[in-house]
Amino acid sequence: MAKDQVTQRKVKENANGQSLTQTKNNKPTNGNNHKETLTTGDKVANWVGWAMYNLPPSTKTLSLAFFANAHKCTMLLYMFGLMIYFKNFSLGCWVYAALHGSYGFLWNLKTMAFPDKTHQERMSIGSLIPMFTVLIAYWYIPYMMASGQSEQNPSYERVFWSTLIYVLGACIMMISDAQKYFCLRLKKGLIDYGMFAHTRNPNYLGEMMLYGSFALISNRWIPWIILLSVWCFIFSLTMGVKEVSYRKKEGWEQYRKRSYILLPKIYGSGLFSFIIYGAGLAIGLYCYSKGGAYEVIKEWR
């Protein structure tokens, strides 16, 4: 054979003993042009990324981080403005302002200290439409409170549970995002320890908890409907995209077996987790049906 062929080829034995031909630029072929096959998960992940950042008209605006930060850091001023406009300074308004307003400051503090790289991409004009739809829905929850549509004088117990869930959720979110940021700076790959040891999305769990506290203090169904819509149609997709990425990393199968996608797999046991979560749900529903834990305690006494 002539030595001046356009492409030099060498035969390598793969793991199964099959021969693959490899061109000079290290792209393996089997004699035909090699084309990577996208899985359904890959296609969904590509679609989610396109919808979040590149919906037509495709003219680029500002980053997702800019819009999210602006929305969250102005929430306390927005709530105070509503309270002044409606002349409503009830206990419910003050508690809501403290919870949602402080979350805005925590979010921006987190963004300054350990920003999420996925939020830095600039959004197209078309992608602003679904984003502002979500932001307007979030703005409506404090509007309900200030306008008198939500619970104006929540019980001490409701304030207690709302504050407890908010604090725990905020801590889980902040610690998880901090771990992810600094671990990935040191080494790229699967994070399967620390806050991520038994749940693959502790940051989403924390954010869902703290937003759930806003709906809990409101004591109305509309905030829950808004949040459940966001969680089902947005959070579920973004968590699914992360799952596609995880499956390509070393150690995925072992990690999948000892963790859940959202709630922690307690001690890595599915049975134990089922018992704990089932018991917690049953107790919660029972207390709710009786008017709260305090009413249950009084009844038992």
Dihedral sign computed on CA atoms, order 65, 180, 269, 264: negative
Note the pTM of the prediction, 2 decimals. 0.85
Quick: pLDDT tens for 32-63: 444 567 788 788 888 988 989 999 999 999 99
CA distance 123 to 125: 7
Asked if 136 contacts 78 with a C-beta cutoff of 8 angstroms, the reply is no
Q: What is the pLDDT of residue 36?
A: 61
Query: Which DSSP helix (H) or strand (E) runs through 21?
Result: strand 19-22
Quick: pLDDT tens for 236-275: 999 999 999 999 899 999 999 999 999 999 999 999 999 9
Q: Which residue has the tokens 């439409």?
A: 129
Question: Does residue 111 or residue 15 have the better pLDDT?
Answer: 111
Quick: pLDDT tens for 88-133: 999 999 999 999 999 999 999 999 999 998 899 999 999 999 999 9
